[in-house]
Amino acid sequence: MFFCRVSQPVATKKRSRSAVAGRVFILALQLARIHLPLPACWHVSRVTDAGAVHYIVEVATKKPKRIRRSRARGWKMPENAIYVGRPTVWGNPYAVGAQLLNGETLTADKAVALYEQHLRENFDERDIRHCLRGKDLACWCALDEPCHADVLLRIANSRA
């Protein structure tokens, strides 16, 4: 939760509360130099004292999560989600169950570790953050198993 207090002199021209609240919210973010992942829920409270109007802006950000895709009838991918499966640029080229050159079978943990190494060698973390920050990531992996989307979420939502 982010709290920001913005003060503004009382205006002589009357404006709607929603218009003022929206402009104050944007001003608060600019003054605080805060980058918020979307979607964010915000609430503006208006307090008046001694000739000044104070706006208290509360912003609750949602933590991005991994979503399991489904072929079930009627299932739709959420609006703020990006598919990161194999046919995309973010897909994991290391398939669980594949045979390595030494004859070892690839486990989910090993596939995720190889994918993280692949990411670090082929992508800049700033690009990953720019493309995926604040987004939910969708993949076919079971939610209780290790997945390359977890690596992407960790990198995308880390501080630079």
- Number of Cβ within 10 Å of residue 59's Cβ equals 19
Supply the pLDDT for residue 7: 47
Strand 136-139, strand 66-68: pairing: parallel
**Residue numbers in the chain where pLDDT is lower than 70:** 1-61, 160
C-beta separation of 38 from 4 below 8 A: no
3-state helix, strand, coil in the chain (%, to 5): 30, 25, 45
Supply the pLDDT for residue 50: 64
Residue 24, helix vs strand vs coil = helix
Per-domain residue ranges of the chain: 2-61, 66-156
Query: What are 6-42's pLDDT values in tens digits?
Result: 444 444 445 555 555 555 555 555 555 555 544 445 5
Supply the pLDDT for residue 159: 80
Supply the pLDDT for residue 84: 96
CA distance 140 to 84: 9
